[in-house]
A and B are shown apart, each in its own frame.
Chain A
Amino acid sequence: MLEQLSWKVGGQQGEGIDSTGNILATSLNRHGYFIYGYRHFSSRIKGGHTNYKIRISTKSRLANADYLDILIAFDQETIDFNSHELRENGVLIADAKFNPVAPEGKQIRFFAVPLTKIAEENGSAIMKNMVAVGATAAVLGLSPETFLSYLNDKFLRKGEQVVQNNMNALKAGFQYVIDQGIELSDLKLAPGDGVERLYLTGNDACGFGALAAGVRLMPAYPITPASEIMEYLIKKLPKVGGHVLQTEDEIAAVTMSIGASFGGSRVCTSTSGPGLALMMEGIGLAGITETPIVIFDTQRGGPSTGMPTKHEQSDMYAALWGTHGEIQKIVVAPSNAEECFYMTVDAFNWAEQYQVPTIILTDLALSMSDQTVEKFDFSRVSIDRGNLATQEQLEAVAAGQLFKRYEFTDSKISPRVFPGQKGGIHHVTGVEHTEVGRPTEDKNIRNKMMDKRLGKFDGIELPNSFSFNGDEDFDTLLIGVGSTAGLIDEAMERLQAEGQKVGHLHIKVLNPFPTESVQKFVSKAKKVVVIENNATGQLKNIMRFNGVQGEFISQVKYDGNPYIPSEIFTFVKELN
């Protein structure tokens, strides 16, 4: 029985590709399988080829597989564009309606199923997605009942009959494949463990994390692939008295965030590369005024408009260093949807504890792909707003005096106070300033203020700044960031299966960089490979910039697509 397999459905945009994938993915997720769903999409809304790839596994697999086991084609284009991914003896199910031509030169099991016709017979052509799912179930040896709970959730409010029609269409597709009598027993899927888990994208998890972290305001400007965070909070914030404001641009988004934070709200904004570029001056203002804000940057292919619907990890430099002058920031990079949730909560706390602009860097593969993760444990969610002025502190401010919002302290963190509070009046300015916020050019104060702001992370390594798994006595160390974690794990397993000793270090906090910890791992390795999706080896250079000593072999990919596991496996294997 198969422990994992890959399935893809393709057709024209607007043809129900997403819904077909969703029925399969959600239903199997509910039965305790681990799903990884990767949507191909382009900027066009209607028309044009699209597809949805789903990996089904009995354990967590956070990456696309090397090849496809099953391809469902709603049109010939799907066959022409995707059949090269199909493995030898894989399954192709195509709608008989378009007289599909099977790919040449490949041994496959081919089913021309009258998807549209069966759907029409059961009520409507749009149900061809159900027929396709039924056909898939037959191939995988799953019962049609597997999909009942999903159909109920989706259609029961439209009436029993609608559920029944869909089920009939699904069963008809199922039966059609069975009736062909083709040997399929090698594709029988091992059972899922039945545990209820979540199936969501990184963007969903970021949005939900922000909600749980107490965000109440989100000024933001739409951009692929970040818009879903905003769209999620547009639905949720009204339920808790909060609000998403769609701004006129990202300059407004970041500066409005600064105002909202100064005003006392927890606030975030979300964007991708082009928007991050526009936010730079604002980020500097947050830096010098020590105003906590959280920015989601879901990276896509750059530079400029670049490849807006493609994957890349090339904003790391911009996130770390992109503003004029010198400030501190926190930059975190979750590697899966579960971390998107918990690290978003952490990021909100850290932003306020350290009073710095905080960037949550994700990438397109993480933000847009659906994945199965364990349910979130809300006992791990707590809200800490950092140093807020106490009533006594406010009362101690003499009449006519200003509150020392930028007081020099040992921790370099000063008390915050929100407008409206008596005794808290102070001035905030992007100009260099005194402890009460008055502009100054006094060189001693300037030096002290710079040292205060820049020194906040002296000797500090944030919790969970990295993760390590694999062989403790590794020879080869694989280092990555963001969505490549699942891929690197898979490549590592294959290398281990060949007898190599391999470890996987994943960086989760890019600033403050956990130099000491990373150095310990790097020093132990005979070979260090840094794997990332950009052209210039940004992660590798960030490690060097932060003082990590060692020789690094760089593996980069910047064609807009995530790696597949075999690419990393082969690259490392062939190193000598």
Chain B
Amino acid sequence: MATVKDFRNEVRPNWCPGCGDFSVQAAIQKALAESGKEPEEVAVISGIGCSGRISGYINSYGFHTIHGRSLPVAQGVKLANRDLTVIASGGDGDGFGIGLHHFMHAARRNMDITYIVMDNNIYGLTKGQTSPTSAQGFKNPKSTPEGNIENALVPAQVALSAGIGFLAQGFSSDIKQLTEIIKAAIAHKGFSLVSVYSPCVTYNKTNTYDWYKENITVVDTIEGYDKTNRIQAMATVMEHKGLVTGILYQNESLKAYEDLIPGYKEEPIVNHELPLSEDFLTKTMKEFV
């Protein structure tokens, strides 16, 4: 059985020292090993951004795609090989800016993939512009020197509205919690979002480790919280302006997309014999006579 080491490779991430994304990388590797996966059974599909580099830092099959499109690529991979553990991944700009509608559609479509977003409330790779999750008033010398005049998007709210079946949030400072969440997300049969507050130490001087620590509520500390209750999940998310971590919502009764496709086989498409019988083709051609 593979250990966490098997999911590591020789590449040294080019993230800044202290970047929250290191913890996300570690948590994914740990979660994969603890979920009993083998590296070749896993495909990590990432977008573009500092965070998007993550597919190159995990020893598994990996595809570093284009900005905002990790989810459609990941869904394509899953359709071709339903036996794979598919993880899509990227930043807040990637997933909730340029790729927002792919996220909403992936959530409602509900294919069995896990989407891990590293939300630093900023565009890191392009050197620090305001992001869709940056708060109103967010001051940033690059994009919003006078303060952000737009409202921030709350990804968890969007996810719940889109009909997601598994919603969790984490924080880079708590690798243990994050690992458990990712394991649960991978085990969930359907689409899962794990949105991680993952500070950018270089460009975001507002949403720092300390700031998150002060503002985050761990959902397990909320008495009587019922993660199967979507209305409570929405209310809690709204109440905390999104700043809650843990598994916020899970609906295990939703069927995954793959299980609803008419005629779709248990055997992954990648293993199908492609040529069709002469008989089948001839019958099909008859429809045009």
With known contacts A255-B66, A420-B270, A263–B77 Cβ distance under 8 A:
yes
**Contact among B61, B72, B74, B270 for A265, CB-based, below 8 A:** B270
Q: Could you mark each residue 24-37 of chain A with 1 if its beta carbon is under 8 Å from any beta carbon of chain B, else 0?
A: 00000110000000
Chain B, range 121-162, C-beta contacts under 8 Å to A: none
Enumerate B219-241 residues with CB–CB distance to A below 8 Å: none
Docked Cα-Cα span, A429 to B62, in Å, equals 8
B278 cross-chain contacts in A, Cβ below 8 A: 378
Measured CB to CB, the nearest residue on chain A to B43 is: A419
**A-chain residues with CB within 8 Å of residue B78 when the two chains form the complex:** 259, 263
Task: Compute how far the CA of A243 lies from the CA of B76 in the bound complex, rounded to whole angstroms.
Answer: 11
- Given B61, B64, B264, which contacts A419 in the complex, CB threshold below 8 Å? B61
The answer to whether B201 has its CB under 8 Å from any CB of chain A is: no
Contact with A along B249-275 (1 / 0, CB 8 A): 000000000000111110111101011
Q: Which chain A residues lie closer than 8 Å to B276 at the CB level?
A: 211-212, 214, 240
CA distance A567 to B66 in the complex (A): 47
> CB-CB contacts of A255-283 with B at 8 A, as 1s and 0s?
11111111111110000000000000110
Structural contact, A251 and B79, CB atoms closer than 8 A: no
What B residues does A208 contact at CB under 8 A?
284-285, 288
Segment 408-439 of A: residues with Cβ below 8 Å from B: 418-431, 437-439
Stretch at the interface among B17-25, B28-36, B80-88: B80-88
- How far is the CB of B7 from the nearest CB of chain A, in Å? 11
Which residue of the partner chain A has the closest CB to B277?
A: A378
Instruction: State A398–B100 Cα separation when bound (angstroms).
Output: 40
Q: Encode contact with A along B81-105: 1 for CB under 8 Å, 0 otherwise.
A: 1011000000000000000011001
A285–B72 Cα gap in the complex (Å)? 13
Bound: A184/B284 CA distance, A: 40
Residue of A nearest to B56 (CB): A427
Q: Determine if B72 and A259 form an interchain contact, defined as CB atoms under 8 angstroms apart.
A: yes
Shortest Cβ gap from A467 to chain B (Å): 23
A214–B80 alpha-carbon span in the complex (Å): 13
| Nearest CB in chain B: distance from A234 CB, A | 10
Assess whether B40 is in contact with A420, with CB atoms less than 8 Å apart: yes
When the two chains form the complex, which single residue of B40, B56, B76, B285 contacts A259, counting CB atoms closer than 8 Å? Answer: B76
A residues near B204, Cβ cutoff 8 Å: none
- Chain A residues lying within 8 Å of B40, measured Cβ to Cβ, are 419-425
Q: Is B246 an interface residue (CB 8 A)?
A: no
Q: How far is the CA of A282 from the CA of B281 in the complex (A)?
A: 32
Q: Given A252-B102, A265-B269, A427-B56 in contact, is the A204-B63 Cβ separation under 8 Å?
A: no
Interface presence of B1 (CB below 8 A):
no
- Check if A459 is an interface residue, CB within 8 A of chain B: no
**In the complex, what residues of B have CB within 8 A of residue A222's CB?**
none
A287 to chain B, nearest CB (A): 12
In the complex formed, the residue of A with least CB distance to B63 is: A428
Contacts of A252 in B (CB 8 A): 69, 72, 102, 105
Known: A427-B55, A430-B64. A241 touches B269 (CB 8 A): yes
Q: How far is the CA of A285 from the CA of B47 in the complex (A)?
A: 12
- For B59, the chain A residues whose CB sits under 8 A away are 425
Cβ of B65 < 8 Å from any Cβ of A? Answer: yes
Chain A, residue nearest B44 (CB): A427
Q: Is the CB of A420 within 8 A of B64?
A: no
Q: Which residues of A contact B81 (CB under 8 A)?
A: 263-264, 418-420
Which one of B39, B45, B76, B80 has the highest number of Cβ atoms from chain A below 10 Å of its Cβ?
Answer: B76
A264 contacts B269, CB within 8 Å? yes
Tell me, rounded to whole Å, the shortest Cβ–Cβ distance linking B4 to chain A. 15
> Binary interface profile of A, 207-218, with partner B (CB < 8 Å = 1, else 0)?
010011110110
Q: A296 contacts the other chain (Cβ, under 8 Å)?
A: no
Instruction: Determine, out of A89-97, A192-200, A516-524, the stretch whose residues face the partner at the interface.
Output: A192-200
A237-248 interface code vs B (CB 8 A; 1 in, 0 out): 111111101011
For the complex, what is the distance from the CA of A98 to the CA of B78, rounded to whole Å?
A: 58
A438–B75 CA distance with the chains assembled, in angstroms: 23
Q: With the chains together, A246 CA to B224 CA distance in Å?
A: 41
Interface residue A375 (Cβ < 8 Å from any Cβ of B): yes
Inter-chain contact B69/A282, CB cutoff 8 Å: yes
Q: Which residue of A lies closest to B278 (CB)?
A: A378
Residues of A with C-beta under 8 A to B274: 213-214, 216, 266, 383, 385
Residues of B near A266 (CB, < 8 A) are 274
A420 near B41 with CB under 8 A, answer: yes
Contact of B77 with A427 in the complex, beta carbons under 8 Å: no
Q: Is the CB of A262 within 8 A of B79?
A: no
On chain A, the residues within 8 Å of B281 by CB distance are: 212, 376, 378, 381
B80, A260: Cβ atoms under 8 Å?
Answer: yes
With a CB–CB cut-off of 8 A, which chain B residues contact A134?
none
State how many angstroms separate the Cβ of A165 from the closest Cβ of chain B: 25
- Cβ of B245 within 8 Å of any chain A Cβ, yes or no, is no
- Residues of A533-568 whose CB lies within 8 A of B: none
- Is A494 in the interface zone, CB < 8 Å from B? no
B79 to A260, Cβ gap below 8 A? yes
Q: Among B102, B275, B289, which residue has its beta carbon within 8 angstroms of that of A198? A: B289
Per a CB cutoff under 8 Å, which of B10, B64, B272 touches A429? B64
Most buried by A among B59, B274, B275, B285: B274
Contact A217-B79, Cβ < 8 Å, known A419-B84, A425-B61:
yes
Q: Does B60 contact A (CB under 8 A)?
A: yes
Query: What is the bound-complex CA distance between A224 and B60, given in angstroms?
Result: 41
A421 to B271, CA, bound (A): 11
Taking a contact as CB atoms under 8 Å apart, the answer to whether A264 and B80 are in contact is yes
Closest chain A residue to B48, Cβ basis: A430
Q: Tell me whether B43 and A255 are in contact (CB under 8 A).
A: no
Contacts of A243 in B (CB 8 A): 79, 261, 263-264
Q: Any chain B CB within 8 A of the CB of A219?
A: yes
Taking CB as reference atom, which chain B residue is nearest A291? B63
Give the residues in chain A near B80, CB-CB below 8 Å. Answer: 216-217, 259-265, 267, 418
- Distance between B105 CB and nearest chain A CB, rounded to angstroms: 4
A240-B272, A420-B83 given; name 4 further pairs at CB < 8 Å: A264-B270, A418-B270, A419-B61, A438-B11
Nearest first, the 6 A-B pairs at minimum CB distance are: A259-B76, A263-B80, A214-B274, A264-B270, A238-B263, A259-B73
Q: List 22 A-B contacts (CB under 8 A).
A: A196-B289, A211-B284, A214-B274, A239-B280, A240-B280, A241-B265, A241-B272, A245-B79, A247-B105, A252-B69, A262-B63, A264-B80, A267-B80, A285-B65, A375-B285, A376-B281, A419-B40, A419-B77, A425-B40, A425-B59, A427-B63, A430-B64
